[in-house]
C-alpha cells in the first residue's frame, strides 16, 4: 500500500521553463515532507523540506507547496537547468512508536531538462 505516491514516472522540460513535480500522500499522520534528488549510482541528496504547518517553502530556484487538505505537495523548479536532470523523490516523515523518524518515499519522478 503506497502511502506516498508520485504518479508521473518521468517528466521532460525545456531548459529555462518551469518543472513541476507532484506528490500525493494518504497518511494524515505525516507532518513533515522532504524532496530528495538522486543521480544514478549515488545516494539521494536532500533538496528542500516543508512542515505541515506551512503551505510554501522557497529556496532559490526550488519551491515546495503543500496543500494539506488535498494531501498533495509539489516541487517547482524555475528556471530549469540541464543539471537538474535526475530522479526526484518525495518523502514524508512520521514519528514511529519506537521514537524514531522513518522516511516513507515515493517511487520517484525522473526529470529530464532538455537544453
Per CB under 8 A, 104 contacts another protein: yes
Angle subtended at Cα 75 by Cα 97 and Cα 59, rounded to the nearest 5 degrees: 95
Per CB under 8 A, 51 contacts another protein: yes
Q: Cell match 508521473: residue?
A: 8
Exactly one of 46, 55, 58, 82 binds another protein (CB under 8 A); that residue is: 46
For the CB of residue 77, give the shortest distance to another protein in the complex, in Å: 19
Measure the CA–CA gap between 54 and 95, rounded to whole angstroms: 19
Measure the CA–CA gap between 21 and 33, rounded to whole angstroms: 14
The C-alpha cell at 80 is 530549469
The C-alpha cell at 74 is 509539489
Per CB under 8 A, 99 contacts another protein: yes
Exactly one of 32, 62, 72, 81 binds another protein (CB under 8 A); that residue is: 32
Per CB under 8 A, 45 contacts another protein: yes
Using CB under 8 A as the criterion, which residues of the chain lie in contact with another protein when the complex forms? 4, 6, 32, 34, 36, 41-46, 49, 51, 89, 91, 93, 96, 98-108
Amino acid at each position: 500500500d503506497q502511502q506516498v505516491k508520485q504518479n508521473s514516472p518521468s517528466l521532460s522540460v525545456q531548459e529555462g521553463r518551469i518543472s513541476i513535480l507532484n506528490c500525493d500522500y494518504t497518511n494524515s499522520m505525516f507532518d513533515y515532507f522532504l524532496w530528495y534528488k538522486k543521480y544514478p549510482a549515488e545516494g539521494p541528496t536532500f533538496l528542500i523540506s516543508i512542515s505541515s504547518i506551512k503551505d510554501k517553502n522557497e529556496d532559490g530556484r526550488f519551491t515546495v507547496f503543500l496543500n494539506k487538505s488535498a494531501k498533495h505537495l509539489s516541487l517547482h523548479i524555475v528556471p530549469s537547468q540541464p543539471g537538474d536532470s535526475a530522479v526526484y523523490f518525495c518523502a514524508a516523515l512520521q514519528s514511529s512508536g519506537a521514537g524514531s523518524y522513518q522516511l516513507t518515499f515515493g517511487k520517484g519522478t525522473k526529470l529530464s531538462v532538455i537544453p
